[in-house]
Amino acid sequence: MDQDRIEGVTRYAVVGDPVAHSQSPRIHTLFAEQTGEELIYTKQRVTVDEFTQFVGSFFAENGGGLNVTLPHKETAFELADGHSRRSKLARAANTLWLGDDGSLQADNTDGAGLVHDLSINNRITLTNRKLLVLGAGGAARGALASLVECGLSSITVLNRTLARATALKADFAAVYPINVQDFTSARLSPHDIIINATSMSLSGYIPPLDPDLLSDHCCCYDMMYSPKPTAFMDWAKRHGAGKVFDGIGMLVEQAAESFFVWRGVRPETADVIATLQRVSA
Ligand code: NAP
């Protein structure tokens, strides 16, 4: 049966290119079963050229909400009429829906997902800790939109392209004084938390990093998730990081936050994270 055609049930989808690997339909279907919410959630490959028209048609045909992934997060933000504070800071959106007046609304739940996974699921203290973020792309921006509110003692962003990090610094300047450097010139003291928000793990590489960046108790978090530890996780373990995590918890938590935005119901996430870890093991 074509799930898209069940009448009377609200449709949701994740759109991206590529999107075949996305776990979002599985996660939202588990949330719907758990909460008793009736909905259909699919994945749609949508190219850059098709994206704007796809969003218009989806909502014109009574679609309930979209999750947006690479490479459309910035365009999704620009298309929207209304923006949450965190999507404004990130200048990127991963969650779209129609407001009561029919206007297109945008949120970015990536940062809330990451902060929840770090601080609640993994019990990492953020207050008064020194944070280092690797990367200055959409994921780093989304993460920082929530991390700036966590009472960190400092935030430094390292990025290959310094101009991109400098633009990020400028966009966040009114809310937090982020330090930025590129990988080659960085001379840094040890940090308490290091988050890899580059896409390098996708190809099995890590940025050039000095192991002296790791403090004794350092927590290293790779936003990427895969059945095997990522190259960054391997590097962190090899050099004695205290705690090392991948991004599966962030993925489920950002989805839970989107589900809450759309349906007003917050799903439990622990069992869903465990299910995904089992399936991908
Ligand atoms: P993006 O906007 O394309 O940014 C990519 C980042 O990686 C940029 O900072 C880029 O640096 C850097 N980079 C790429 N190749 C590099 C290389 N060879 N050497 C050094 N730096 C390199 O991508 P994104 O949306 O931020 O996504 C980044 C990662 O986060 C992806 O792995 C994605 O799967 C993950 N993610 C996970 C979740 C989750 O829920 N767990 C959510 C969102 C994203 P330049 O600026 O120099 O190009």
What pLDDT digit, counting tens, does each position of 64-91 carry? 999 999 899 999 999 999 999 999 999 9
73 assigned to active site: yes
- Residue that has been written with the tokens 């590529």 in this structure: 18
Ligand 1 geometric centre to CA of 198 (Å): 3
Q: Are strands 95-98 and 65-68 parallel, antiparallel or unpaired?
A: antiparallel
b/e per residue, 157-189, with b = 16+ CB within 10 A? bbbbebebbbbbbebbeeeeebebbbeeebeee
Ligand 1 geometric centre to CA of 70 (Å): 10
pLDDT of residue 6: 64
pLDDT of residue 2: 46
b/e per residue, 121-138, with b = 16+ CB within 10 A? beebebeebbbbbbbbbb
Give me the residues of the chain with pLDDT under 50, please: 1-4
Whether residue 228 contacts residue 218, with contact meaning beta carbons closer than 8 Å, is answered with no
pLDDT of residue 5: 52
The pTM assigned to this predicted structure is: 0.94
pLDDT of residue 215: 83
Regarding the beta carbon of 27 and ligand 1, being less than 6 Å apart is answered no
Treating both helix axes as pointing N-terminal to C-terminal, what angle do 248-263 and 270-280 enclose, rounded to 10 degrees? Answer: 140
Which residue of 24, 160, 178, 253 sits with most ligand 1 atoms within 8 Å of its CB, as the best mutation to test the pocket?
A: 160
Among 114, 122, 179, CA closest to 145: 114
Regarding the beta carbon of 202 and ligand 1, being less than 6 Å apart is answered yes
pLDDT of residue 1: 39
Regarding the beta carbon of 70 and ligand 1, being less than 6 Å apart is answered yes
- Residue that has been written with the tokens 């403090």 in this structure: 215
Cα 185 to the center of its chain, rounded Å:
27
* N- to C-terminal Cα separation, the chain: 30
pLDDT of residue 216: 80
Ligand 1 geometric centre to CA of 206 (Å): 11
